Chain A
Amino acid sequence: MEEKKTKLLDVSKTEWIILASAIVMPFIFDFSPYIQGLLIFILLWVILGSSWNLLAGFTGQVSFGHAAFFGMGAYAAAIPMLHFKISPWWGLLTGGLAAVILGYLLGVLVFRLRGPYLALGTLASGEILRLVFGEEEWLTNGHVGILYMTTWVSKYPYYFIALALAVCALISVKLVMKSKAGFYFLSIREDEDAAEALGIDTKKYKNVSMAISTFWAGTAGAFYMIYMGFIDPEVVFALHNISIITILVGIIGGVGTIWGPAIGALIMVFVQELFRSAIFGIAPQWVSGLHALIFGVLVIIVILYLPGGVVGDWKLLLKKLKLSKSLEVSK
């Protein structure tokens, strides 16, 4: 048998090419601020999607409340600024940590639950935080939100920061999944009780997965605050716009695959903008209201025909495309 040397981090050629083009692209093309903004949002969803995917896709602990950690990170950046004039840039450090602490505390409660009950528990957690941050005005400014004059007018610095964060998130997932912890996550996903019999401290490793996942969700939240310059509870703790979209990004891209959330983020932002702009203004205006519907249909198609997502069922997808092509030819 051919013995392949195990490197700490296997980076394929394709991955190098993607990274290189992501770095070089802004220098070659003169993107409009609109496109720049979309690229930043794609990267933001890559971080959030990878975060969810580690916990739900690899460890099997499906969260319907990732907005809780995203929002926590955003407020961890914003609250010290509001009260003590501390730069929200510190949020890139503290946002992740604040989300990890929140994740640990919520974990104590929700990890007693399994499957759909866990999903409902996390969903409730997210909603509770949204309400609490809306009500506690002395701390959070309530529904008025928190405003911050962004550091740069140009979007490019944000693009590169988001890119660096996304790359770090992907690398961390890749490294973890090659380690003991990664194997333990997968074992917990497949059969929690059998995993215990193999000597796996399932409680501990669910918390480890939660910690890494919430760290990236919180960091993404802090970045959002710094980049957008405005947050309120309805935006950063949103159930459908954050928690649910995070899940959809994961499902469309491929649950339990490293690159799934990245592809999912790309598709999600593309579809969203395609319809929001009424297919670049070609279609009548009412089409712009369809983006949520179209995205829902897309998810149903993926679940029915590509249960592993675009990345997980890549070969199946190619086969299906080829098949339809050859059918056309034969006609």
Chain B
Amino acid sequence: MLMQLTLGGLSQGMIYALIALSLTVVYRSTTVVNFGHGDFVMAGAFLSYVLVVLAGVAFLPAAVLAMIAMFVLGVLFNRGLIRPVRGGPHIGLALMCIAAGYVLRGIARMVWGREVLPMPAVFDMQPIFLGNLVITGDAVFIIGTVLVLLLILFGLLAMTDLGKMIQAVYQSPRGARLIGLNVDRFNDFSWGIGAALGALGGILVAPVSLLHPDLGASFLIKGFAAMTLGGFGSLGGAVLGGVLLGLAEQYAGAYLDSALIEITAYVVIVAVLFIRPQGLFGRKAVVKV
């Protein structure tokens, strides 16, 4: 049972990791937390649904197209709606993100409001039985895809100057501008990547969760919990936090009470912030006065 829970937790955790990672990418380079991210996740899933089921595109190209579309949407969102309110109160940005999420959800509701749609399984594979342990196609597919993606992403960060640029923009946008970085374009790029990664989370989860306009609602808080656990702003921490949260949910649900799955993320947030506010890898979160 422990092994099975671990596997289930890993495959859920990979989705959380992806969502936490996409939130962190945006936060690191723009210091904005996208409070509407759940709906970006949902929008990615619906885009791929439209392409696969309604336009007959194969899954893989559809997923890539949906991610590109969400990249563009992320860039447009930054340019059209985030930039104009940057001069206002900082938390106006949080509300702007929520408002954008509402618009996305509103569109989905308008078109598919009364439906719960099935998304065809991508990776139809007979489950493998190892004794009592069942390994399903979904789990293999989700874990595999996210691992490959993480390798590429962290490889890029390690081998290029991208990581340093992100760090520079995060620490001081003005300083980054001084050394010749185009911060505006950099922010566009981060929003695009964040939206595309979030969309991928949606695309991966949709065959499991089914499609409905409220699909993304629960993912935002899981992303937050994963980020908090790993250390806010740490890319590696976001991934580890996501995986740990996935595992914690399964263990709490099976060994304690299934009613606790719902609040595992919240308990993690409260506990981490009170006990070790910097998370596993983050910098100090508390302010000393």
Chain A bound to chain B: no
A→B interface (CB under 8 Å): none
